[in-house]
Amino acid sequence: MEPGGTAPRFAARRVVVKVGSSSVSGENAAQIPTLVDQLARLHRSGGEVILVSSGAIATGVPFMRLDGRPDDLATQQAAAAVGQNILVNRYQRALSVHDIVAGQVLLTANDIENPTHRGNAKRAIERLLQLGIMPIINENDTVATHEIRFGDNDRLAALVARLIGADQLVLLSDVDALYTAPPTTTGAIPIAHVAHGDELAGVEIGAARSGWGTGGAATKVQAARLAADAGTEVLLTETRLFAAVLDGEQHGTTFEAANR
pLDDT at 213: 45
- 23 annotated ligand binder: no
Annotated binding-site residue? 67: no
* pLDDT for 215: 55
173 labelled binding-site residue: yes
| Cβ-proximal residues to 73 (8 Å cutoff; 6+ apart), any chain | 145, 146
- Burial of residue 184, with CB atoms counted within 10 A of its CB: 0-12 exposed, 13-18 middle, 19 or more buried: exposed
Q: Model confidence over 54-101: pLDDT tens digits?
A: 999 999 999 999 888 888 889 999 999 999 999 999 999 999 999 999
Q: Is 152 annotated as a binding residue?
A: no
Task: Reduce the DSSP state of residue 217 to 3 states and report it.
Answer: helix
- Cα separation, 247 vs 250, in Å, equals 9
Side chain identity at residue 172, one-letter code:
L
Side-chain-side CA neighbours of residue 160 (13 Å) = 34
Q: Are 21 and 210 in contact (CB under 8 A)?
A: yes
Q: Does 54 show up as a binding residue in the annotation?
A: yes
Backbone angles phi, psi at 109, to 5 degrees: -60, -35
Predicted local confidence at residue 145, as pLDDT: 66
Measured over the CA atoms of residue 256, residue 185, residue 22 and residue 216, the dihedral's sign is: positive
Compute the residue count for the chain: 260
Amino acid 148: pLDDT: 43
Per-residue pLDDT tens for 90-135? Answer: 999 999 999 999 999 999 888 999 999 999 999 999 999 999 999 9
37 annotated as belonging to a binding site for a ligand: no
**pLDDT tens per residue across span 184-193:** 888 889 999 9
Query: Which option is the CATH number for 14-255: 1.10.10.10, 3.30.360.10, 3.40.1160.10, 3.30.1220.10?
Result: 3.40.1160.10
- Is residue 198 scored above 50 in pLDDT? yes
Residue-range domain boundaries for the chain: 14-255
Q: CA 173, CA 170: separation in Å to the nearest integer?
A: 10
8 A C-beta contact, residue 213 and residue 172? no
